[in-house]
């Protein structure tokens, strides 16, 4: 499969903020999934100026393949700055693929309390779902082969950018 033309990730963050803005309530908390989702959540917070601080999740311990993969050397602390009970949450990730990362994030969030709702915002939906998970806010739908991986990272200028790796 030919590699996709990669969009401007910073422009996508602006488009994602525009999609989220009408749905943002004063108590809504954005929570980024480490690491790409946490970067995107920070950009969204700059753009949306939400009334609440943003959170960050490291879902390493909650993955269903944790026993196979072991602990990633760069586990980051989970920070949920406000009570999640009864609150609307927007989970933020860079790429939605099988849905297993999202499931792990939801499981982790429910260990903190019972949110009123959780929706999902992603820059890219690459298809390939293995679970009934859907991104309400999404800026890019792209079909990729199993061996391809989308990688979001900050460039030398600190701006977010995409790379696509072919693990053939
Ligand atoms: O391509 C992919 C799939 C899952 N997660 C990523 O960051 N990239």
Residue 2: pLDDT over 80: no
Banded model confidence at residue 70, pLDDT cuts 50, 70, 90: low
The crossing angle, in degrees rounded to 10, of helices 36-48 and 9-20 is 60
What 3-state DSSP class applies to 134? coil
Average pLDDT, the chain: 94
CATH number for region 9-61+80-166? 3.40.50.2020
- At residue 93, the pLDDT reads 98
- At residue 67, the pLDDT reads 67
Task: Give the integer Cα–Cα distance in Å for 32 and 41.
Answer: 5
Query: Separation of 86 CA from ligand 1 center, angstroms?
Result: 30
Query: Separation of 101 CA from ligand 1 center, angstroms?
Result: 10
Provide residues with CB under 6 Å of ligand 1. 36, 94-95, 97, 126, 149-150
Q: Please answer whether residues 81 and 98 qualify as being in contact, where contact means their C-beta atoms are separated by less than 8 angstroms.
A: no
Summarised one tens digit per residue, pLDDT across range 93-143 is: 999 999 999 999 999 999 999 999 999 999 999 999 999 999 999 999 999
Dihedrals phi, psi of 44, to nearest 5 degrees: -65, -40
Q: What is the ipTM of this complex?
A: 0.94
Buried b (16+ CB within 10 A) or exposed e, 55-93: bbbbbbebbeeeeeeeeeeeeeebebeeebeebbbbbbb
The rounded Cα 150 to chain-centroid distance in angstroms is 13
Rg (CA), the chain: 15
Strands (E), 34-76: 55-57
Summarised one tens digit per residue, pLDDT across range 28-58 is: 999 999 999 999 999 999 999 999 999 999 9
């Amino acid at each position: 499969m030919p590699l996709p033309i990669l969009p401007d990730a910073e422009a996508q963050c602006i488009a994602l903020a525009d999609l989220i803005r009408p749905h943002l309530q004063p108590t809504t908390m954005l929570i980024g999934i480490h690491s790409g989702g946490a970067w995107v959540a920070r950009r969204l917070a700059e753009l949306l100026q939400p009334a609440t601080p943003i959170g960050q999740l490291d879902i390493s311990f909650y993955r269903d393949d944790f026993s196979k993969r072991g602990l990633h050397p760069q586990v980051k602390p989970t920070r949920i700055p406000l009570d999640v009970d009864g609150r609307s949450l927007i989970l933020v990730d860079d790429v939605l693929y099988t849905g297993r990362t999202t499931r792990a994030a939801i499981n982790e969030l429910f260990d903190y309390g019972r949110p009123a709702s959780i929706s999902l915002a992603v820059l890219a939906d690459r298809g390939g779902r293995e679970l009934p998970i859907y991104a309400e806010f999404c800026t890019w739908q792209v079909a990729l082969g199993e061996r391809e991986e989308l990688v979001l990272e900050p460039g030398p200028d600190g701006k977010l950018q995409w790379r696509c790796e072919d693990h053939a």
